[in-house]
Amino acid sequence: MKKIILFLSALVAVLSLNGCNLNDEHDELTTLFLVDANNKAVGGVPYICESMGNYQRTAVNGEFSFYPGESCSFDFLGLSGTNNIDPIRDEVVYIVDIDLSGKGNIPYRCNTFSGKTYADGDFEYGANDRCAFYL
């Protein structure tokens, strides 16, 4: 019985010293932004990442955060997409960093398109589409 109590005490001490973090892969959040063709924020877009319990919305500055390696799904309800039929009506969205540098080569899958983001962070999506990005 003493061995079990000693073992449990040691386990509690190790977990306390470790900050109870048994999974180090989710240590640092990464923040990116959704912007339009004029570098204006695309805020209010519902999104959810694997580590989140509920949907959130991109901030008024287009900001969203995630842990590297997880996928995040965005609901572009109300946006016309990039159908390339009418470039005037297309609502191009870019994924960029704080310096407005495009984040290219991010794999994604939408209901109507899939592929990787272009070098400038642009991607193809349809009207009212839902897209998962593998960040």
Domain-embedded: residue 55: yes
pTM to 2 decimal places: 0.76
* Domain encompassing residue 100: 25-134
The pLDDT assigned to 27 comes to 74
Domain-embedded: residue 73: yes
How many domains are contained in the chain? 1
What is the spatial distance between Cα 57 and Cα 22, in angstroms, rounded to a whole number?
29
For residue 108, give every residue at least 6 positions away whose Cβ sits within 8 Å of its Cβ, in sequence order, or none.
Answer: 114, 115, 116, 117, 123, 131, 132, 133, 134
Domain-embedded: residue 7: no
The pLDDT assigned to 89 comes to 64
Q: What is the pLDDT along the chain (135 residues), one digit of tens a residue?
A: 443 343 344 444 433 434 444 445 557 999 999 999 899 999 999 999 999 999 999 999 999 999 999 999 999 988 888 765 555 667 889 999 999 999 999 999 999 899 999 999 999 998 889 999 999
The pLDDT assigned to 82 comes to 78
Domain-embedded: residue 61: yes
Domain-embedded: residue 13: no
Domain-embedded: residue 20: no
Domain-embedded: residue 18: no
Domain-embedded: residue 70: yes
